[in-house]
Amino acid sequence: MPETTHQLALSLETHRNHYLFSDYYLNELLPRQAPWREAESEAQQALEAIMAKYHEVAEALPHYNEAAAEQEWIRPVLDLATDRLIDRIVYRLYGLTEEEIAVVEGRLNHG
């Protein structure tokens, strides 16, 4: 007589351990990396620029149609983000130091 095999039933609930890794990676490991720490001030500047733009359009934003929202809010935010990214790429290409970048961006007086 052949042996009967039994399969264990698995719960239908979604397996959630992936959050443990991603949370640990994002909250613990990534912030220890030098490039992450170096980008922190840049990210803060970008956030401040985006928030300033938001405060400019905040009252009118709920009343914009799709085209106006794109022109007055979405495009300017994308421009802010891409301009900063392009700047950083160029700075790295030319090997500029943080002090040289500050001079280029007008945050530091040259000379």
Does residue 35 fall inside a structural domain? no
For 7-50, how does the pLDDT look when each residue is reduced to its tens digit (9 = 90+)?
Answer: 555 555 555 666 667 788 888 888 888 877 777 877 888 889 89
User: For position 88, what pLDDT does the model report?
Assistant: 83
Does residue 36 fall inside a structural domain? no
Q: How many domains does the chain have?
A: 1
Does residue 107 fall inside a structural domain? yes
Does residue 79 fall inside a structural domain? yes
Residue 111 belongs to domain spanning? 41-111
Helices (H), the chain: 17-24, 34-57, 66-69, 75-93, 98-104
Does residue 105 fall inside a structural domain? yes
The residue written with tokens 């495009």 in the block is 75
Does residue 100 fall inside a structural domain? yes
Section 90-100 average pLDDT: 88
Does residue 24 fall inside a structural domain? no
Stretch among 22-36, 69-83, 89-103 having the lowest mean pLDDT: 22-36
Does residue 32 fall inside a structural domain? no
How many other C-beta atoms lie within 10 A of the C-beta of residue 76?
Answer: 17
User: For position 58, what pLDDT does the model report?
Assistant: 94
User: For position 107, what pLDDT does the model report?
Assistant: 76
For residues 64 and 72, the answer to whether their CB atoms sit within 8 Å is yes
